[in-house]
Amino acid sequence: MFFFDRRFGEGDGPLLLFVHGNPECSYAWRTTIDELKRQGLPEGTRIVAADNIGFGRSDQATYEMLQMRHADNLRQLIEALDLRDMTLIVHDWGGPIGIGATIDSPERVRGLVVNATSVFPQPGDRPTYANLTRPISWSQTPFVVPDRLWGVHAAAVMEFETLSGDVKDNLKWMRLLAAGATGRIPKGCGPEFAVWRDALSTKANARSSKRACLESPTMCNGYSFEEPTLGPQNNVAFYRNIQEKIGAVWGPRGQAIPVGGVFGSQDPLGKPSVVAQWRDEVPQIEENLHVLPDAFHFVQWHNPDTCAEAILDVVGELVGSVA
């Protein structure tokens, strides 16, 4: 399991753990980390960012992994590095992964920043990942995009993430896919296009990433499927454990840790009903909540200034409480 671990400056400063989702890798935090440095990290800040198995520079996936498997891998990394007093920063499936990895050792977490993510049963009001148009729904793309092009598809998702069904947008989307399929970096895209593409270019990694897409219509509700290598897989108990504990351990009834949130209003995970679930369980998020009206899903890459602001607000509260 690959991980980035670096201290910025001298001394023993705050610890930040970044957890990515799908179809991305720890590189997706680069623009936010750059913005954190620009806005001013406390001296001695330590940043750890891992690639989940089957993503980025970590080992190839050996089976189609649900988030509970990624969470267990992350838990082992946290224990191996003995990460404590951390601010946990999560995006997308990184929410269930990061929170799932720490919910049974909540004392390790002193702050939480959630970015376009959820750990709660998904409300049925639109939009959902089952009815997004691009021009087909996100949850149906594994059936349409072949494994050999899944990395190109992931790169196009990261570079051009609009969720609209506008004809002009869909034509641009298809041009990105066509150009990427030739092995070239499409016009207007940076070198990161190759990072997203290459990380999911193998059949094993593509299949594991696709599984998360197939789960997305029931994200955090509980999901089961027959894995060819491991047999029946079911994550209902995994999500129930998180949902039963998160408010009790990190909300006002528990540690009352500082919480921040960044969401795009055009994203199914940024709609009011999802944001309300976070407010219900960790109401302290209200003081550091950013719902960006024109943003979509990959806020940590496309809206790094706001993500960095939310993180520094949480870190500043923790540093101030120590002082």
Q: What pLDDT digit, counting tens, does each position of 7-19 carry? A: 999 999 999 999 9
**Does residue 51 surpass a pLDDT of 90?**
yes
CATH classification number, 3-322, choose in 3.30.43.10, 1.10.1060.10, 3.40.50.1820, 3.30.200.20 = 3.40.50.1820
Average confidence score pLDDT of the chain: 93
pLDDT digits (tens, 9 = 90+) for 218-254: 899 999 999 999 999 999 999 999 999 999 999 999 9
40: left (phi over 0), alpha (psi -120 to 50) or beta: left
Confidence tier at 195 by pLDDT (50, 70, 90): very high
* 3-state DSSP of the chain: CCEEEEEECCCCCCEEEEECCCCCCHHHHHHHHHHHHHHCCCCCEEEEEECCCCCCCCCCCCCCCCHHHHHHHHHHHHHHHCCCCEEEEEECCHHHHHHHHHCCCHHHEEEEEEECCCCCCCCCCCCCCCCCCCCCCHHHHHHHCCHHHHHHHHHHHHHCCCCCCCHHHHHHHHHHHHHHHCCCCCCCCCCHHHHHHHHCCCHHHHHHHHHHHHHHHHCCCCCEEEECCCEEEECHHHHHHHHHHHHHHHCCCCCCCCEEEEEECCCHHHCHHHHHHHHHHCHHHHHHEEEECCCCCCHHHHCHHHHHHHHHHHHHHHHHHHC
Residue 212: pLDDT band (50, 70, 90) is very high
What is residue 160's predicted lDDT score, i.e. its pLDDT? Answer: 75
Average pLDDT over residues 133-141: 75
Q: For 64-89, what is each residue's pLDDT tens digit?
A: 999 999 999 999 999 999 999 999 99
Domains in the chain: boundaries: 3-322
Q: How confident is the model at residue 323 (pLDDT cuts 50, 70, 90)?
A: very low
